[in-house]
Structure 1
């Protein structure tokens, strides 16, 4: 409902006060129809998010029997348009283990689950989670990924400097900061420029303006993790 309030305000401004009663009725009917469509879209996205969380939980249970007590929260799913979600994208989840007790705290191992989608994963029949490729990443692997990413995004080659700056500092839009100082600045590229590095047998990393691109060699899909999501995931490991 909170997401609909701005639309109500805008529509109240756009509907003139001096219209005839008939014109007002038509305008209000149109506004109600528009709001109904918006509400349906929001509800559809929320339903898809819930299904994605359920599928991620099922995948985790099936493939990691040693994880018995955990919290799973979606990082990046909302804010995407339905038409955009039908193409390739990445769904990100934060996972943290805990010790069961009355009102437990999340104090255990942290991991990130990335779900890479392929073209057509959303169609007229709903969501096809068979078109999602899952990667479970712990702190060590995440650090290795970010070291590789910072290298390709900045040109810095000193592994020790990058690793220590990442673990003690934070990723921001312009680079990696340590104690409010931009220690490792990123390249300033235009939207049609890309810098590529070969990370593993499964992935290539692509640095583009304000995003981390991941090219999956198996499916030949190029997906992007928004910088905001990247920052949140990094803070999850090193700041929270």
Structure 2
């Protein structure tokens, strides 16, 4: 089963991490895993382009099925292997609706994070402006407060869509982990801090933790003032 799967990925990529957590939660260990280097431009290699013409990571293949978008891959894995591992889409209609809502809000959350952390990577130097980065930070701060409020309403010890882990957590946790890796204050955002602590030692998360974070546990302080 998992032996028919290939995942090409990069360390510290939230989209890659989402798929890796989903694979772990569905008990699909033993897939063909290949770590590639963004610094060396290996995401543009023929090996990747043969699976993913966009030249992006993750690139995921299961038999003859190719699913490269991280959200799509996570949904595919839950649908294809719904009877094994963790049930990631709840049966309860209310929890299911909240799961879908938070899952897709997670796209906006990650985009606002990326607009700050990866600003210099995505924006050509001649187009970079301090005012734009300041605005991006303000937008991210507003977004973080929104998620802090979501968790406050659900109560202590909750996941994003209720008491159990769902696809919403699979796709959003990497974004939250990045926030704290880059200096977000758990004292200022206690509910997000509690949520991060709840999931960071989960077996699926520990098994897929970015290798270069393990090598260098100390993060940066880019977001310490948010």
Structure number with the bigger relative contact order (C-alpha 8 A, sep ≥ 6) is: 2
Q: Same fold (TM over 0.5)?
A: no
Greater strand content? 1
TM-score by length of 1: 0.23
**Normalising by the residue count of structure 2, what TM-score does the alignment of the two structures yield?**
0.24
Q: Larger radius of gyration, structure 1 or 2?
A: 1
Say which structure is richer in helix.
Answer: 2
